[in-house]
Amino acid sequence: MKLFYKLAHLFFPRESNNHKAKILHLSGLTIVTSLLIFYQVILTFLPQLGPRILGYAANISADEVIRLTNEKRVAVGLAPLQLNSTLSQAAQAKGVDMLNKDYWAHVAPDGTQPWKFFIDFGYKYRYAGENLARDFSNAASAVDAWMASPSHKENMLSPKYREIGIGVVEGDLAGVDTTIVVQFFGAT
Q: What is the pLDDT of residues 74-129, one digit of tens each?
A: 999 999 999 999 999 999 999 999 999 999 999 999 999 999 999 999 999 999 99
- Residues 92, 160: one domain? yes
- Residues 99, 43: one domain? no
- Answer yes or no: is pLDDT of 13 > 50: yes
Domain that holds residue 43: 2-49
* CB count in 10 Å sphere of residue 67: 13
| Listed residues 11, 27, 49: the one ending a domain | 49
Number of domains in the chain: 2
- Tell me the C-alpha distance between 69 and 80, whole Å: 8
Phi, psi (rounded to 5 degrees) for 186: -160, 165
For residue 86, give the CATH number of its domain: 3.40.33.10
- Tell me the C-alpha distance between 105 and 120, whole Å: 19
Burial class (CB in 10 A: 0-12, 13-18, 19+), 112: middle
- Residues 36, 66: one domain? no
- Residues 27, 117: one domain? no
- Residues 8, 93: one domain? no
For range 63-73, the mean pLDDT? 96
- Residues 27, 119: one domain? no
pLDDT in tens, 148-182: 999 999 999 999 999 999 999 999 888 888 899 99
pLDDT in tens, 19-48: 777 777 777 778 878 877 887 877 776 655
- Residues 85, 44: one domain? no
- Residues 30, 89: one domain? no
- Residues 106, 126: one domain? yes
The partner residues of 177 in beta bridges, in order of sequence, read: 172
- Between 50 and 5, whose confidence is greater? 5
For range 119-141, the mean pLDDT? 93
* CB count in 10 Å sphere of residue 55: 22
- Tell me the C-alpha distance between 70 and 88, whole Å: 16
- Residues 75, 134: one domain? yes
- Residues 42, 61: one domain? no
Burial class (CB in 10 A: 0-12, 13-18, 19+), 81: buried
- Residues 81, 160: one domain? yes
Do residues 149 and 110 touch, judged by C-beta distance below 8 A? Answer: no
Q: What angle do CA 77, 81, 85 make, to 5 degrees?
A: 175
Do residues 57 and 137 touch, judged by C-beta distance below 8 A? Answer: no
